[in-house]
Structure 1
């Protein structure tokens, strides 16, 4: 497989995960300030499977699709306003989250254990971005922002981190065996 073919396959997978993120964003459990959605599960899956570069690319594509008007954000929202509203910090936080999950996996190994650690770190990054943004945009006190935008999401976040790790590593192994992704050693050589 040539470098161009491999790059095209990775770009197609990144676009596919942008679409998956848009679909999982519509899985919603409503809460008073910020709903629980399937977006963070999709972010973890994308980064666990695709790594830092293409996992992050999938999130950038997802955010761009929503920003230009496709209803891919939670509750079928779109446009710039969700990016700057009270929940915008979570959306913006998806970018460093995807990068850090993928980077951690690339620096260690693509195992379920490492993926769980990486996804829990990613969950905390997303929640931190979202909570700070929620506090600043809504003018909340720190205790209110933490109670509404951080603490309620920890238990569900851990569950989603374990799911993203377990499913992600399984899917990644199948993509590698199907020659759609290269094993870690070859990924590092290709990106050098």
Structure 2
């Protein structure tokens, strides 16, 4: 392959990492661990943010944001990557009550990538994941309120998402922490 396309190994690894985070986000959009909650019909509590934040933390700020831009771009051009395997053309996206949450993935992934480079302990990574979720909610809930009402946004676009936020934050912190431990032990033994 190198004879045809002379691409450095690190470039290929980076592109593969970005692609894997996009795929993980699309798959996470289909999984609703708390689908039985009373307000799951409004803003679904999926595993997307687990992929967004863990992916951002592992890829770094620029690549994490790039992965989320790629994810949104795929959905906007017709690839069904959003919840319930939806694609949303731009005209539909601007009228979509969950659009703010999806847009929030970009700064949340960038933040997770930046902060995870600084706060490397398990507790630090838990804080990174919690703050990353708050970024998504902080952008998503006001957009949801603009399309519905403040009361509905608080009830169905914020409060109903808090229970799984803590669980996903803990899982994300563990995933990133143990991924780094595994990588550091495999690198040191090589």
Q: CA RMSD in A?
A: 1.9
Instruction: After superposition, give the CA deviation of every residue in 1:137-161 in whole Å (9 maximum; x if it has no partner).
Output: 23x1x23211111111112101101
- Name the SS for the 1:36 alignment partner: coil
| 27-36 or 150-159, larger mean C-alpha shift | 27-36
Larger Rg: 2
Shift of 1:74: 0.5
1:127 and 2:137 equivalent?
yes
Structure 2 residue runs without a partner (length 5+): 1-6
| 64-73 or 30-39, larger mean C-alpha shift | 30-39
Aligned pair count reads: 174
1:165 and 2:176 equivalent?
no
1:6 and 2:16 equivalent?
no
1:104 is matched with 115
CA distance in 1, matches of 2:71, 2:13: 18
1:15 and 2:19 equivalent?
yes
Q: Normalising by structure 1, what TM-score? A: 0.83
1:188 is matched with none
1:26 is matched with 30
**Native 8 Å contact 1:44 1:165 kept in 2:** no
Shift of 1:73: 0.4
Q: Are the structure 2 counterparts of residues 174 and 64 from structure 1 closer, same or farther at C-alpha, using a change threshold of 3 Å? A: farther
Instruction: After superposition, give the CA deviation of every residue in 1:20-46 in whole Å (9 maximum; x if it has no partner).
Output: 111111112261311111111111210
**Native 8 Å contact 1:50 1:102 kept in 2:** yes
1:62 corresponds to which of 68, 71, 80: 71
CA distance in 2, matches of 1:143, 1:165: 31
1:147 and 2:155 equivalent?
yes
